[in-house]
Structure formats: C-alpha cells, structure tokens
Amino acid sequence: MRLVQITDCHLHADPAAKGRLGVPLRQLEAVIEAVNRERPDRVVVSGDISQDETAASYELAERTLSRLDAPWCWLPGNHDRTDLMAECRALPDELDLGDWRALLLDTQVRGREGGELGAERRAALEARLAGDDRPTLLFLHHPPLPVGTAWLDAIGLADAEAFWGLIAPHRQVRAVCFGHVHQAFEGAKPLADRRVAVYGCPASSDQFLPGATTFALDEAAWPGYRLLELGPGALETRVVRVAP
C-alpha cells in the first residue's frame, strides 16, 4: 500500500493569487503532477486547504486535487472552514488500507492558530482504537510534539500530553503524521514500552525555516509531499521535494 500526504495548500479564490514566495495553485499543481508519477493508492491532504476561507477556494481545491490519479481525502487545519469543506467533499474520519488503516483527526479550534482534540474527540479516538487492532496511522494537522521551531511549537497541539496518554496502551499505532509546520520533520515519541514515529510534511505552498525563533520563510526549500510505503507490519517513508 502506497500512501501520500500533501498538506498546507493555502489556496485563494483567485487562482492567480500569490503567497509569500510563490503562487499556491501553481505550487500545488506541480506537487500533484509529481505525486501522480508515484502511482499512490491513496492520498491524504492534512489541512490548511484554504488561505482566504472562501467557498470558491475550496471549490478550486476540490477541482485541482481531483486531478490526482488516486482516491484522496482531506481534513481541516486552523485556516479552514469545515462547513465549506464538507459542502465540496466529505470529511471522512477513517481510511481502510487493507492490512493497515488510517484515522483522520480534527484538531481545529476555531479562532486559534494552535489546535486541540478536546475531551469529546479524544474519547471518540479511544473508542476507534479499541475496536480494531490493525497497524494504524494517525493523521492530524497540528504537531503533537515540539519540532524545534519556537514560534511553531507555541501553536501545536495543546492537549498533546493527554493525546499521548491515550495512545500509550494502543500498540497498533505505528506513526503519527501532521502538517501545519511547512517543513519536513522526523522524530519519535518515547512511551513506556516503545517509541512511536512522528512525521511532519513540507507544504505544497511556501516553506517555513526550521529552527527559527520567530516567523521566517525558508526561501531555499521547495514544496513537497511525504510518501509512505505500508508493508506487512512495516512502514517506510521519505519526503519528496518538487521544483517550483
């Protein structure tokens, strides 16, 4: 099973609108072209689909992402309007990946850049994990641990400690994949009996500078995506960058 993560498209209603460094639509189109060459089985788009939070931006995103040659789904980020997303395309909470599965988590808190699952969504996640012991990936927008970029670490997952406490007894959780940080990241969360892999993904739009104390762009880094290969109980992954 070959899975691709795309994240942080930041599209505007105007297809020609510029981001900080490039044109988000053109950047996304280049990423989609590269992803199609990978021949993935599924694609997950992990939030911040829109920059201006307009219905037209989601319609543009849906049309553009539908150029993917594989089934795709999306989940919301802090910039998104879930009601407008759902009008364009459903917001599933789970993907059946055969021997594996992926759970798609909503960490959005309206009006805040940072995210949180909250008690109700944590309880729902607990129930879903208890009901299936297949190897599992978790996708969410906000990072559940520090990435070493101070201003981003301040707007990560607010209830990360409770999240990891929930994950700890569920050994089938093999990796957690997030967006939001506009940079590649590979780390792990130590638990009592194991370490859970944690992966961040470059944006399909502009990139943020790793290690920065305050907001800074990485003008040298290209847009990209993350490729995940799921085998019998094994996971391999890499980041792919796409020339603008």
Which pLDDT tens digit goes with each residue over 131-163?
899 999 999 999 999 999 999 999 999 999 999
DSSP string of 15-55? Answer: TT---SSS-HHHHHHHHHHHHHHH--SEEEE-S--BSS--H
Q: Tell me how far apart the alpha carbons of residues 134 and 117 are, in angstroms, rounded to a whole number.
A: 23
Domains of the chain (ranges, CATH numbers) = 2-241 (3.60.21.10)
Which pLDDT value is given to residue 160? Answer: 98
Fill in the amino acid letter for 178: F
Global pTM reads 0.96
Which pLDDT value is given to residue 11? Answer: 98
pLDDT in tens, 39-72: 999 999 999 999 999 999 999 999 999 999 999 9
Indicate whether 195 pLDDT > 80.
Answer: yes
Indicate whether 5 pLDDT > 90.
Answer: yes
pLDDT in tens, 77-119: 999 999 999 999 999 999 999 999 999 999 999 989 999 999 9
pLDDT in tens, 119-134: 999 999 999 999 899 9
User: Average pLDDT of the chain?
Assistant: 96
Which pLDDT value is given to residue 244? Answer: 76
Residue in 205, 207, 185, 187 with CA at minimum distance from that of residue 196: 187
DSSP class of residue 223 equals P
Residue in 41, 45, 77 with CA at minimum distance from that of residue 229: 41
Which pLDDT value is given to residue 131? Answer: 86
Fill in the amino acid letter for 86: A
Residue owning tokens 């997030």? 178
